[in-house]
Chains A and B, each alone.
Chain A
Amino acid sequence: MQRDNGSKPDGVSRRQFLQGAGGAAAGSMLLGLSQSSHGEQPATGVTARSGVRQYAASGSVVTLQINGSPAQLTITPETTLLQALRELLNLTGAKEVCDRGACGACTVLLDGRSVNSCMMLAIDAVGHKVTTIEGLAKDGKLDPVQRAFVDHDACQCGYCIPGFVVRSRALLNETPAAKSDTIRHGLSGNICRCAAYQRIFAAVEAAAKGGLK
């Protein structure tokens, strides 16, 4: 589920990391990765163009930029961004639901684009700006997407909603005047089991029409 129009962050995803132990398949994957990141600036000094970084298996101290502030934390290399946010930083808005990029409940923004934080290693977020659902409202004022979700009662149990709101925000960053079809396809990586879809579509359409500030 790639939502970032091909511009993947440097480094390896959790799944690729996990699969990386396994020979030829991993080799071709890493090749593909270096091609897709062609022309991208390395995110930090830590990341060399060769893509080789070193983190201690027992854990290392990294600094993540979360919702506009630096957060220092000690993490092991296999820690996902989602685990770091929820379990170490108490930012529990993003949810762990499928734990394999199939439902979108863990969606956060990475430099303004949406990623499934369950499929990304925390160490790969170093040097990027991470925005979670908790960071969308500014100065006590809801983001226009959140406002639209409120106005349209776009929710039932609410467990998936942080993911939908963040993904909708990213979608409208990409396509500010998104219409019905774009919205449906743009949200197709998110699942709402209560199925409050009618209201969610209506909210995102209204947010798109209202212009986003």
Chain B
Amino acid sequence: MTYRSDNHVALENDGPRLDIVEKVTGKARFTTDYYLPQMLWAAYIICDYGDAHVRKSNIGAARAVKGVLEVQIDKQDGQYHGDRLGHICAESRQALERGLAALDLKFRIRNPKTRLEDERTPRDKLTPAQNDAEAQKALKESALAAEAEFQTQVQTHVALEPHGCVVDYRGDSAVAYGSTQSNIAFRNDLARELKLRQDQVEFHCEYVGGGFGAKFGCDSEGVLAAKLSKKYSRPCRVIRTRKQEHLDTGNRPGSIQYMRIGLSRDGKMRGGKIATWGSVGPTGGGQASAGGGGGGGVRNPSRYNFGAIAKVHEDVSLNGGYPRAMRAPGNPQAMFAIELMMDHLAEKAGKDPLEFRLLNETSDIRREMLKVGAELIGWSHRKPNGTTHGPIKRGLGVGVADWGNGRGNATIGINVYRDGTVEVLSGAQDIGTGYRTMIGDVVRTHLGLPRELLVVKVGRSDYPEGPASGGSMTSRATAPKGFMAADLAREGIRRLVAKEWGIQKVDDIALENGVFKAGGKSMDWAKACRLMMRDRLSFSSAEDGQYWKTPTGSEAVQFADVSVDTETGIIRVNKVVALQNVGLPVNRNTIENQICGAVIQGLSFCLFEDRILNRQTGAMVNPNMDMYKIAGPVDVPEIVPIIWREDRDVGVNSLGEPPVIPTPGAIATAVANAIGTQVRSMPLTPDKVLAAIASVGPAARKAKAP
């Protein structure tokens, strides 16, 4: 066994996150918590329908509302519900709300495109892939082949802190607060909007209420706040409402995925054809809001060895909000289809789904993880599909993933003060992942100091450069620099001790548990720091040095155990075993917490979440948190997070994204195992489950009989 179920990890950090006290006492200040004196309130005026023309508006009445400073309509045509038509600015929140009500927009609705299945180009009309002939040949040579089509819905990010920005323009400088995954990009965008130099904008995002891929750059909120703050020389606040969050701040695009795969007689995949369609905004992908990104792409095929695949993809424009990167963009939806296809093929080949995966797996590490996970979930007791006795059917399923681990730019700064305080500075932001804690624990454990001596400050643009928190980049880009900077700090203080003790070679002095030792002498860290006849010593590193180590593939394997009530169609996930390779694990709490959270997000995507557009009007019918269902406390299964290996010879690797990828596939295959047929369309709602059961039930069999 290469894992330890107690998860005591290489660096043996079990402490809670460093900012937990601020978070449980309400002291942590997020962007939305800044209400500045003389602050203006502004908001976008949005299109209420999918494809509509403003037929009537009462701008005069809106402008006449007491406290409303300006109302401006820039365009009369909206192409999606939430499309920004103009803006309103007021002295107070109430004036803003009253002004919007007085505006009373009336629309003429055209014919919105709302359904991916209706708008896509049929498969036989798509331009074939260049290697189509090769795939055709592979299929021809296969002993058997199977095909299926899968569909996934649009998911919105629903970060609890909405997109938003508060800008305080002061002539030759500005102070701004923004909820972002990249404070550097946000600061740069604001500097551009305000026509200031980079250094003239002091940007804060010490606390960020979740991003999940939708918060890079200053976005439309920052653009508006900057413009109005500059115009009126007053602070301006632009915070999206929950409704606008669903409509206009990005989403995980919906997909349709067709797969036809051939197998050789021994059960190995030979190749085949894959066609995918992804939903994008009315004018294409990647235009969620200024600075956004993300198309409709689906990462299918991936992970398994499919053989020669001819793949075609089409981005399909709908009159809905634009897609944007969302936690492992393109991946969970792909693995939903792929894992169901793997099970479908395994059944054709007469093989156990796990055995079939081991046969076609591309990664040795994951092969090992599959075996361990199977043992932990009790795979050997898995029953043949749909054979549990009684109305509540049990099933087991499996899903896999991985993630890349490239290098990234960052600088970590350390100030050691004369009183012994070690201050770690980083311009990267903690979006809830525990970055503040991770970098603090890297420095602290490397120096061998107690947590009390440590202060970690992150999330300001004037701190040393940090990477954008996207692509699971933050930890792997910063950790090596943290080790390097800690080495420099140790060296600096050791020199003071060497001089005091009259020792020539600093290497002869050891630092253990906060105490310097050499030749029978000892001195604690705080005392050693008092030897510096100055305020502080500053160190920093922008280099990885010896601490860039061979990365892992951040491999992930998950097994799900579900119950399905065949009378109501309701799925209950009982347990998920989630194995995750994170390279060098730094803090057990933040890692396990993040794995479990990803599993629940994956579950929520698989079973509940769905952006529903009205087919006549193109309006989203559930832009809120009561009708847009997200997994809550009662939906949470037992989760067993396993941190794969404790290995000091690898680097600190990606964690944020990989564990959200396998969950939908693991749950969907478990459901199929339970009820004896696959539900190939997400979310797996009770109506679809019942329809799937009915399609293979006695009545359906009778209808099919000649």
B187: chain A residues at CB < 8 Å are none
Interface presence of B502 (CB below 8 A) = no
Instruction: Provide the residues of chain B in CB contact with A9, threshold 8 Å.
Output: none
Please tell me if the beta carbons of B26 and A134 are within 8 angstroms of each other in the complex. yes
| Structural contact, A193 and B35, CB atoms closer than 8 A | no
Q: Mark A135-173, 1 if CB is under 8 A from B, else 0.
A: 011000010001001111111111111100100000000
CB B602 to nearest CB in A, in angstroms, measures 10
Chain B nearest CB: distance from A21 CB in Å?
13
Stretch with Cβ within 8 A of B (4 or more), from A32-40, A48-56, A194-202: A194-202
The answer to the question of A78 belonging to the interface, with a C-beta cut-off of 8 Å to chain B, is yes
Q: Which residues on the A side are within 8 Å of B601 (C-beta)? A: 193, 195
Inside 8 A of B633's CB, which chain A residues have their CB?
183-185, 187-188, 190, 197, 200-201
**A100 and B594: CB pair below 8 A?**
no
Does B163 belong to the interface (CB within 8 Å)? no
| Per-residue contact bits, chain B 414-454, to A (CB 8 Å; 1 contact, 0 not) | 00000000000000000111100000000000000000000
A102 adjacent to chain B (CB < 8 Å): yes
Measured CB to CB, the nearest residue on chain B to A198 is: B596
A98 to B598, CA, bound (A): 22
Q: Does A83 reach chain B (CB closer than 8 Å)?
A: yes
With A190-B632, A191-B160, A194-B432 as contacts: A158 and B94 at CB distance below 8 Å: no
From B32, B589, B593, B632, give the contact of A188 (CB < 8 A). B632
In the complex, chain A residues whose CB is within 8 Å of the CB of B209: 95, 157-159
- Residues of A within 8 Å of B33, CB to CB, are 86, 92
- Are A157 and B210 in touch, CB under 8 angstroms? yes
Cα separation A201 to B638 with both chains bound (whole Å): 11
Taking CB atoms and an 8 Å cut-off, the chain A residues in 89-137 that contact chain B are 90-103, 105, 132-134, 136-137
**Contact indicator B625/A97 (Cβ below 8 Å):** yes
Chain B residues with CB below 8 A from A191, complex form: 160, 625, 630, 632
- A76 to B22: give the CA distance in the assembly, Å: 32
Residues of B within 8 A of A190 (CB): 632-633
Contacts of A197 in B (CB 8 A): 596-597, 600, 633, 636
Bound complex: CA of A93 vs CA of B159, how far in Å? 17
Interface range on chain B: under 10, 10 to 19, 20 to 34, or 35 or more?
A: 35 or more
Q: Is the CB of A98 within 8 A of B210?
A: no
Chain B contact residues: helix, strand, loop or mixed: loop
Q: Which of B24, B27, B94, B631 contacts A155 (CB 8 A)?
A: B24
CB of B523 within 8 A of chain A?
A: no
Q: Do B631 and A195 touch (CB < 8 A)?
A: yes
Which of B35, B94, B431 is in CB contact (< 8 Å) with A78? B94
CA distance A153 to B20 in the complex (A): 7
- Give the complex CA separation of A87 and B95 in angstroms: 14
Distance from B661 Cβ to chain A, minimum over Cβ atoms (Å): 15
CA distance in complex: A201, B631 (Å): 15
- CA of A191 to CA of B629, assembled, Å: 10
Which residue of B22, B32, B604 has the most chain A CB atoms within 10 A of its CB atom?
Answer: B32
- Given A92-B33, A95-B32, A197-B633: A156 and B432 within 8 A (CB)? yes
B432 close to A102 (CB less than 8 A): no
Please give the distance in Å from A82's CB to the nearest CB on chain B: 11
B568 contacts partner chain A, Cβ-Cβ < 8 Å: no
Interface string of B620-631 (1 = CB under 8 A from A): 000011100011
How close is A50's CB to chain B, nearest CB, in angstroms? 28
Most buried by A among B35, B593, B631, B639: B593
Given the complex, which residues of B lie within 8 Å of A200, measured CB to CB?
633
Residue of A nearest to B33 (CB): A92
Query: Least Cβ distance of B53 to chain A in Å?
Result: 29
B636 touches A184 (CB 8 A): yes
Bound form: Cα–Cα A134–B630 in Å: 28
Residues of A within 8 A of B639 (CB): 198
CB-contact partner of B630 in A100, A155, A193, under 8 A: A193
Within 122-165 of B, Cβ neighbours of A (below 8 Å) are at 158-162
Determine if A92 and B26 form an interchain contact, defined as CB atoms under 8 angstroms apart: yes
| B29 proximal to A (CB < 8 A) | yes
How long is the Cα–Cα vector from A62 to B23 in the complex, in angstroms?
Answer: 30
When C-beta atoms are compared, the residue in chain A nearest to B589 turns out to be A153
Q: Which residues of B contact A154 (CB under 8 A)?
A: 20, 24
- B441 CB to closest chain A CB (Å) equals 13
CB-CB contacts of B233-259 with A at 8 A, as 1s and 0s? 000000001100000000000000000
| CB of A9, distance to nearest CB on chain B (Å) | 22
Complex alpha-carbon distance, A190 and B162, angstroms: 17
Contact B624 A194 (CB under 8 A): no
Residue among B20, B33, B35 with most chain A CB within 10 A:
B20
Q: How far is the CA of A183 from the CA of B624 in the complex (A)?
A: 25
Whose C-beta in chain B lies nearest to the C-beta of A96?
Answer: B32
* A162: chain B residues within 8 A (beta carbon): 24, 26
List 19 contacting pairs A-B, 8 Å CB cutoff, sorted by A.
A79-B94, A95-B30, A98-B242, A102-B626, A134-B25, A142-B24, A146-B25, A152-B16, A156-B432, A156-B434, A158-B28, A159-B160, A185-B634, A188-B633, A193-B160, A193-B601, A195-B636, A198-B593, A198-B639
Given contact pairs A134-B26, A190-B633, A195-B598, enumerate 18 new A-B contacts (beta carbons under 8 Å): A87-B93, A90-B35, A92-B30, A97-B160, A100-B624, A103-B160, A132-B26, A146-B25, A149-B20, A153-B16, A153-B17, A157-B207, A159-B161, A183-B633, A185-B633, A196-B597, A198-B592, A199-B593
A-B pairs with lowest CB-CB distance, top 4: A93-B26, A157-B432, A159-B209, A158-B23
